[in-house]
Structure 1
Amino acid sequence: MEFSVKSGSPEKQRSACIVVGVFEPRRLSPIAEQLDKISDGYISALLRRGELEGKPGQTLLLHHVPNVLSERILLIGCGKERELDERQYKQVIQKTINTLNDTGSMEAVCFLTELHVKGRNNYWKVRQAVETAKETLYSFDQLKTNKSEPRRPLRKMVFNVPTRRELTSGERAIQHGLAIAAGIKAAKDLGNMPPNICNAAYLASQARQLADSYSKNVITRVIGEQQMKELGMHSYLAVGQGSQNESLMSVIEYKGNASEDARPIVLVGKGLTFDSGGISIKPSEGMDEMKYDMCGAAAVYGVMRMVAELQLPINVIGVLAGCENMPGGRAYRPGDVLTTMSGQTVEVLNTDAEGRLVLCDVLTYVERFEPEAVIDVATLTGACVIALGHHITGLMANHNPLAHELIAASEQSGDRAWRLPLGDEYQEQLESNFADMANIGGRPGGAITAGCFLS
């Protein structure tokens, strides 16, 4: 799909479709008012007849409006004008894209970027429109032999900005939006890949391809089981030893700041490409979805792709901790005691609490980079979903300023996070009779004790 920006009057657009907003109750946006005046009140007459109230998600497609060059006008309900915030703006864009795609509008000029969104400028509105459009049209159909596509899909979207002075920032917003959207798509594609294709070796191949594509700034190193053994990463290795697929840790280094004082930000992603639970095997219902246990690594890969595409002036290291947790004759067992890379010992009480066993060794490994910050992303425990549901991510941190920045970023992006405590009192639940600690601490505060284990 192609995106561009322009600045022009709505009545002069020779597009297949013009998109404008309508507020509740039946209030035309400024651009819609211009079109109404040009058409001698055609649009307002329709609203008076009750064709559209302006509620969020409502649409009305008009054909051959008098005195308007565009073939069609799409009216989109935007809710109450004073309540149009980031979340509602994205929903309006999403509805717009779906409607255009379903009604055969192969190209459109969108004036929704001229709506007032509290606290947001035109750069943000254009960038969010691009990101939302790409996300709305996303589908994973690479493995289908018969792909279902709209007969006349949306192929070109032009965003209108109020003045020509804002064209440059609008073009930059499109560039940034496409880079971010590409990173999100890459993460989703990895997550959706079936586990017989996407194993640790596949993650490693994607990491290497990233270095090939951005060779100026990106270097990838893949660490296999033999090198892990030499490093003392016995906890990580234990998780994957029941699988025939080799465990591989992919280290992607992006260098955008050549200063010797520029310490890197390290991102660590849990990459369990399939988690059966191991000997402590999971119930069969829903086990197919355990291919998603590598979405932490997928997210880190997507971020690294985006950082490289935007050529950000920072140094970032992304680690994809790939392996597979399977039962088998060589699988690790409940009751085993493992020695981690840090030298601490862990008693395995449940082999399905495997993510922390992988990540603890990776977190020790990345200390060699002397990072400015380490951010670990993982589908670490179902207890977090029990606590917060499916809409908010749990966040635990031992550095308050970084935690506050991440919470603020989550609010800005719409991908919200909520901070959970990391108190010493929770550590007592991890006490073991046979090792320095156990790998689980019981049901109470299960997400928190998982974080405490890694802290």
Structure 2
Amino acid sequence: MNFELKSLDLAGSAALTCDALVVLVAEGFKPARDALSQLIEQARKAGDFETKPGKLLAMYKPAAAAAARLVLVGCGDGSPKQVRQAVASAVGAVKSPQVKKLVVCFADAPAPLAVRCAVQAAAEASYVYTTTKSKAEGRSLAGVTIAVPDAGAVRTELAQGKALVAGIEFAKEWGNRPANHATPTLLAGAARTLARFPRIKCEVLGPKEVEKLGMLSFMSVAQGSKEPLRFIVLRYEGAARTAAPSVLVGKGITFDTGGISIKPSAEMDEMKFDMCGAASVLGVFRTLADLQPAMNVVGLIPACENMPDGGAVKPSDVVTSMSGQTIENLNTDAEGRLVLCDALTYAERFKPRAVIDIATLTGACVVALGGVRSGLFSADDALAEALLAAGESALDLCWRLPLDDEYGEGLKSNFADMANVAGRAGGAVTAAKFLQKFTAKMPWAHLDIAGTAWKSGAAKGSTGRPVGLLVDYLLAHGDKAPAPSVEAKARRAQKTPAVKKPRRGTAAA
């Protein structure tokens, strides 16, 4: 979909010929003398229109505008969140095959981030998945013009919005594809297409290369599938080679049956979404391709299926990770952490400024946070705070959960260095504690997106999250050295040796 930006007031927007004109009206709107302004004021005084977020008044061929359809929509205080809600409501109301050209007009000068949110909301409301449909009608909306009083003041945000749409929709595409259309090999092919863009390189490793690296934990998950595993390495090189990269690690289980610890059949089809962490990494790189920021980013995707073949890994099997640590597999449905741990060890070679893994890891996180916020885990306060702030600015929210050392007690094993599960209680936290054992040499954070990566029911489909969060984090911090934590600053000031203490995150509500 094409987006363009124009400097237009209400009168100028009303003069545009288009299939639909959406006018965003915030609290405190002061009408001018033009016909459209007067129409808005009359409707408001009559009680037919309110400026509360999402409140609509729709008209067909109004005298006050050249558009075939006019929708007045309230956007509350004009904040990015309320603008997103307003645009989503309005575009949903006019969505039809007849509406191909849309104008979204801000009645007053918007906050810059509100423009980015308007672009994303228009794309989200009109998104249609078509890849595996025989006679699918694609997105009818072809072009959106964003009309603001001063286009020059928000050009950067428009560019960011367009790039985010490209990345989020790339993530959605691969998240939504059925497992037979998104195998590890096909996912690697999607990554290779990104290497066509400037500054992006892609390397794909197969079973022989992965075995040579010693990624036996990753390999154990794949051994029950006829589909060969793939380890995808993406590099965005926008800064000097000496600049430490941010590393994103995405869980790429392209279908998860649970293996020998097989899942219930109900809703198992949704386990095609178990590679949404990988899809989000692909989406971030698609956005970087358009924005071309001055930073280095590495994307690592361990991709495979988890199947219950006769050769599949069994409960009680002990495998050796790339780090040399051994793992007792008590539950083969806790496979995501087994592929991520080897990818996290591989990440050490890049001497990263920060490592963030993204995974649909635990049902326990869905129970804790639902589908509103992703779970965030990190022992690095500065990194955690940066990710929380990025989630707020991107409207792609997360919530910090604890990493107390006591949560790791359940991972002890009589037969290996650790077990891969620690019981049901605190399952999202104990999964993070498992991953933490492979991250001692680098600043690390874990995003559990099991509740936010896709929607079920009538709206079933990938959300493209947390592409927005990750991009905002990179734009704010990807070209900077990581800030030391409060404790590290205090130790340096006192010039005393570090004392190991358990880190505590913010308790979940």
Task: Name the TM-score, length of structure 2 as normaliser.
Answer: 0.80
Question: Which residue matches 1:198?
Answer: 182
Work out the CA distance in 1 between the residues paired with 2:410 and 2:47: 62
Work out the CA distance in 2 between the residues paired with 1:146 and 1:202: 23
Question: Which residue matches 2:419?
Answer: 438
Does structure 1 retain, via aligned residues, the 8 Å contact 2:116–2:157? yes
Question: Which residue matches 1:127?
Answer: 116
Decide whether aligned partners of structure 1 residues 78 and 203 sit closer, same or farther in structure 2, where only a CA change above 3 A counts. Answer: same
Work out the CA distance in 2 between the residues paired with 1:324 and 1:110: 43
Does structure 2 retain, via aligned residues, the 8 Å contact 1:42–1:65? no
Work out the CA distance in 1 between the residues paired with 2:129 and 2:398: 26
Gaps of 5+ in 1: none
Work out the CA distance in 1 between the residues paired with 2:229 and 2:36: 66
Instruction: Report the alpha carbon displacement of residue 390 of structure 1 after superposing the two structures with TM.
Output: 1.5
Does structure 1 retain, via aligned residues, the 8 Å contact 2:25–2:106? no
1:7 counterpart = 2:7: yes
Work out the CA distance in 1 between the residues paired with 2:193 and 2:61: 49
1:311 counterpart = 2:292: yes
Work out the CA distance in 2 between the residues paired with 1:113 and 1:145: 42
Alignment of 1:247-326 (within 5 A): 247-260=229-242, 262-326=243-307
Question: Which residue matches 1:19?
Answer: 22
1:110 counterpart = 2:104: yes
Instruction: Report the alpha carbon displacement of residue 8 of structure 1 after superposing the two structures with TM.
Output: 3.0
Alignment of 1:179-258 (within 5 A): 179-211=163-195, 213-214=196-197, 216-258=198-240
Does structure 2 retain, via aligned residues, the 8 Å contact 1:251–1:318? yes
The amino acid that maps onto 1:4 is E
1:53 counterpart = 2:55: no
Work out the CA distance in 1 between the residues paired with 2:161 and 2:391: 17
1:158 aligned counterpart, secondary structure? strand
Instruction: Report the alpha carbon displacement of residue 384 of structure 1 after superposing the two structures with TM.
Output: 0.8
Does structure 1 retain, via aligned residues, the 8 Å contact 2:10–2:107? no
Work out the CA distance in 2 between the residues paired with 1:381 and 1:428: 18
Work out the CA distance in 2 between the residues paired with 1:39 and 1:181: 30
Instruction: Report the alpha carbon displacement of residue 23 of structure 1 after superposing the two structures with TM.
Output: 5.3
The amino acid that maps onto 2:114 is K
Work out the CA distance in 1 between the residues paired with 2:302 and 2:21: 47
Q: Which moved more, 1:127-136 or 1:445-454?
A: 127-136
Please point out which of 94, 99, 105 is paired with 2:93. 99
Decide whether aligned partners of structure 1 residues 338 and 128 sit closer, same or farther in structure 2, where only a CA change above 3 A counts. Answer: same
Q: Which moved more, 1:270-279 or 1:102-111?
A: 102-111
Instruction: Report the alpha carbon displacement of residue 430 of structure 1 after superposing the two structures with TM.
Output: 0.5
Give % identity.
Answer: 45
Task: Name the TM-score, length of structure 1 as normaliser.
Answer: 0.89
Decide whether aligned partners of structure 1 residues 394 and 34 sit closer, same or farther in structure 2, where only a CA change above 3 A counts. Answer: same
Please point out which of 65, 80, 84 is paired with 1:86. 80
Alignment of 1:380-419 (within 5 A): 380-419=361-400
Say what the alpha-carbon RMSD is for the aligned residues: 2.2
Question: Which residue matches 1:177?
Answer: 161
Work out the CA distance in 1 between the residues paired with 2:278 and 2:262: 23
Does structure 1 retain, via aligned residues, the 8 Å contact 2:3–2:162? no
The amino acid that maps onto 1:210 is L
Please point out which of 130, 135, 146 is paired with 1:159. 146
The amino acid that maps onto 1:6 is K
Instruction: Report the alpha carbon displacement of residue 169 of structure 1 after superposing the two structures with TM.
Output: 4.3
Work out the CA distance in 2 between the residues paired with 1:113 and 1:376: 41
Does structure 2 retain, via aligned residues, the 8 Å contact 1:15–1:108? no
Please point out which of 68, 72, 76 is paired with 2:73. 76
Bigger Cα Rg: 1
Work out the CA distance in 1 between the residues paired with 2:67 and 2:257: 56
Question: Which residue matches 2:491?
Answer: none
Work out the CA distance in 1 between the residues paired with 2:265 and 2:63: 61
Instruction: Report the alpha carbon displacement of residue 99 of structure 1 after superposing the two structures with TM.
Output: 2.5
Decide whether aligned partners of structure 1 residues 34 and 451 sit closer, same or farther in structure 2, where only a CA change above 3 A counts. Answer: same
Q: Deviations over 1:364-402 (max 9, x none)?
A: 111111111100000111111111112111111121101
Instruction: Report the alpha carbon displacement of residue 161 of structure 1 after superposing the two structures with TM.
Output: 2.3
1:134 aligned counterpart, secondary structure? helix
Please point out which of 132, 135, 142 is paired with 1:146. 135
Q: Deviations over 1:305-347 (max 9, x none)?
A: 1112211110000011101100011100001111111111111
Decide whether aligned partners of structure 1 residues 427 and 72 sit closer, same or farther in structure 2, where only a CA change above 3 A counts. Answer: closer
Does structure 1 retain, via aligned residues, the 8 Å contact 2:184–2:254? yes
Instruction: Report the alpha carbon displacement of residue 298 of structure 1 after superposing the two structures with TM.
Output: 0.4
Does structure 1 retain, via aligned residues, the 8 Å contact 2:53–2:83? no
Instruction: Report the alpha carbon displacement of residue 149 of structure 1 after superposing the two structures with TM.
Output: 5.8
